[in-house]
Amino acid sequence: MSHTTSPTARLMDGTAFARRMVEEAAERAAALAARTGRAPCLATVLVGDDPASVTYVRMKRNRCAKAGVQSRHIALPADTTTAQLVDAIGELSDDSGVHGILLQHPVGPHIDERAAFEAIAPEKDVDGVTAHSFAAMSLGMDGFASCTPGGIMQLLDHYDVDLTGKHAVVVGRSAILGKPMGMLLLGRNATVTYCHSRTTDLAAHTSEADVLIAAVGRPRFLHGDQLKPGAVVIDAGYNPGNVGDVDFPSAAAVASLITPVPGGVGPMTIATLLTQTVDAATRQLGAAG
């Protein structure tokens, strides 16, 4: 897909930067394997056969393979109960051959997703979904970032976006995206506003944003006329048809920096997952670096 940008908006190329991150993770994985005789291993857990989830897991495992990170896939039937899923994840948490665990979500509505997430040992929570990881993120402690917000922070840093004192508006407050995103921005001294489905007069908030994070899950939901001229616009949305939550042409006409969809936030999420898997393996195998 090609994008037309105005003279003002510069593209934030997540694909190129993620490639560099994955290369670096691959070098570290190879060095770790040479030192310890063991490669990092990510366990992926999938419940049911939702086509989008199957594709996401396959993409993550393919990227692992390219980076010298082993993956072990656990495919569970759609009628798996919460107790069965918690048991399966608990086994992976106890398995010293597994360094990171990814539960592909959403899981079915009959499953208590929070209970399943909490069965992931904190040191293996490379997707940053546990309460422990959220607290660490929020308190600025050592821990794994939720991968999409973590990847977005990397991208903001890569493009030298100074967050101190800036007004960041996060549209969306999900546990894996919007909420941790705001916490990471707050930790970097941005003034953070959360918007959600009950927010009244959304545009009044978005039009004040120096940094706008769209994490809504609605195609082309935010338009250029709702944005502050010169804003940095991060589109975390990924809707059917490779469409983001931001209307790209109108937003690019007013933004200073903008992420495309695809090729912006998506690749950064996977790169962050791989980086954090190598970090986890490095700590668990007791090898420095």
Q: Provide the binding-site residues for ligand NAP, judged by CB under 6 A.
A: 148, 171-174, 176-178, 195-199, 202, 215-218, 236-239, 245, 265-266, 269
Does 61 count as an annotated binding residue? no
**β-pair partners for 194:** 170
The question of whether 228 is a catalytic residue gets the answer no
Q: Of all residues in this chain, which one has the CB nearest to ligand NAP in the complex?
A: 174
Is 60 annotated as catalytic? yes
- What does the DSSP assignment read for 159-212? TT---TT-EEEEE---TTTHHHHHHHHHHTT-EEEEE-TT-SSHHHHHTT-SEE
DSSP 100: E
Main-chain dihedrals φ then ψ at residue 270, nearest 5 degrees? -70, -40
Integer Cα distance of 164 and 156 in angstroms: 12
Cβ closer to ligand NAP: 121 or 243? 243
Distance CA 37, CA 42 (A): 16
* Minimum CB distance to ligand NAP, residue 264 (Å): 8
Using alpha carbons only, what angle is made at residue 220 by residues 237 and 197, rounded to the nearest 5 degrees? 70
Annotated catalytic residue: which of 104, 226, 276, 284?
104
172 labeled part of a ligand binding site:
yes
Instruction: Name which of 202 and 285 has its Cβ closer to ligand NAP.
Output: 202
In the complex, minimum distance from the CB of residue 248 to ligand NAP, in angstroms, rounded to a whole number: 14
Nearest to ligand NAP of 246, 281 (CB atom): 246
- H/E element, 232: strand 232-235
Q: 198: annotated binding-site residue?
A: no
Alpha-carbon Rg for the chain, nearest whole angstrom, is 19
Q: Which helix (H) or strand (E) holds 76?
A: strand 70-76
If the CB atoms of residues 30 and 202 are measured against ligand NAP, the closer one turns out to be: 202
Question: Catalytic: which of 60, 166, 179, 228?
Answer: 60
The residue among 14 and 143 lying less far from ligand NAP, judged by its C-beta, is 14
CB of 56 to ligand NAP, least distance (A): 8
Catalytic residue among 70, 124, 127, 228: 127
Supply the minimum distance, in Å, between the C-beta of residue 243 and ligand NAP: 9
**Residue 279 is a catalytic residue:** no
Distance CA 137, CA 150 (A): 10
Residue with tokens 């539960």: 103
Tell me which residues are annotated as active site.
60, 104, 127
Known binding-site positions for NADP(+):
172-174
Known binding-site positions:
172-174
